[in-house]
Each structure stands twice: as C-alpha cells, then as structure tokens.
Amino acid sequence: MALKVGDKLPNFKAKDTNGNLFDSQDYTGKQALVIYFYPKDETKVCTAQACSFRDNYEEFKDLGAEIIGISADSVQSHIKFKSKFNLPFILLSDNDKKLRKLFGVENDFLIIPGRQTFVVDKNGFIIMVFNSMSGTIHIEKALKVLKK
C-alpha cells in the first residue's frame, strides 16, 4: 500500500555512501526530510534531477530539510555518482527494493523504477507525495510545500 499525505513516515534503515547505516528515526522529530526515489545513477534525467537538488541544497537546508536520494543502485555506484556530480546530500542503496515496497513506489511504464518524492515534516508526517518521470519538477514542488 502506497504512503500518502498524512501518513507517518515508517521507520527504515539502509546503507549510505559512507558505509554507515542510515536510520530514519535519527531524523524524526528533528528535521524535515525530502526523500526522493529515482530509477538509476548516471542516466540523463536522474542526473539532471540530482544536480537540481544539489543546486538548491542550501535552500532546502535553510528550510530545515535534509535530502535523501534512493535507488536500487549499489553503494559503490552511489559513491561514484555522488563524487562525479558533487552531490552534498545522502544517497541510499535499495538494491533489495524493500524501501520501494515500504513506500509503495511502483514502476513506471511497467519496467522503469518509479520517480517519486515524499516530503516529510519535522514531526515525521508526510506532507507531500509527488510522482512524475520529469526529474527537475520534483525540486520545485518540494520547495513550494516546505515554504508553506
């Protein structure tokens, strides 16, 4: 079942690019989160989306939010992607697709992993869910809801 606006962020853990175990509970009650699922590192639209989040990162931080990108790529792939494009935010590996299932992110066009963004308020409640294969519009939508 897909997560929707008003739902509490489920607790989850995954490996980040530093080899550390990211735990969502470390953020709940402390800051907002922008969690975006994307299909694959190094692809055209995914790279444009990641770079757009990078270019707006300080604005997200000023609004009290941390950005978390999630795909099924390996930690090693994320390390290269993060380094190549100087991405300042957290990337998590979901190679077993448990996080996609937990959030209810379905494939687009039957085979392409979905591109979906969740904005979670400081208290751990989902305040926005946005699904579009267009990458950069996710940044605009997330900033707009955080500014409210």
| Digit-coded pLDDT (tens) for 102-111 | 999 987 666 6
Which is nearest to 72 in space by CA: 40, 34, 110, 107?
A: 40
Q: How many domains does the chain have?
A: 1
In a domain, 61, yes or no: yes
In the chain, the percentage of residues whose pLDDT exceeds 90 is 81
At 122, the pLDDT band (50, 70, 90 cuts) reads very high
In a domain, 125, yes or no: yes
> Tokens 């694959």 map to which residue?
40
At 2, the pLDDT band (50, 70, 90 cuts) reads confident
Q: Tell which phi-psi region holds residue 30, choosing left (phi > 0), alpha (psi between -120 and 50) or beta.
A: alpha
Averaged pLDDT for residues 22-48 = 94
Q: State which residues form the domain around 81.
A: 30-147
| Catalytic-labelled residue, pool 46, 67, 72, 146 | 46
Please say if the pLDDT value at position 19 is more than 70: yes
Which is nearest to 116 in space by CA: 84, 68, 56?
A: 68
Q: What is the pLDDT of residue 111?
A: 66
Task: Give the CATH number for residue 39.
Answer: 3.40.30.10
What distances in angstroms separate CA 40 from CA 49, 59, 73, 106, one per listed residue?
A: 11, 25, 6, 14
Averaged pLDDT for residues 133-147 = 89
| Strand 116-120 versus strand 126-131 pairing type | antiparallel
- Mark whether 51 is an active-site residue: no
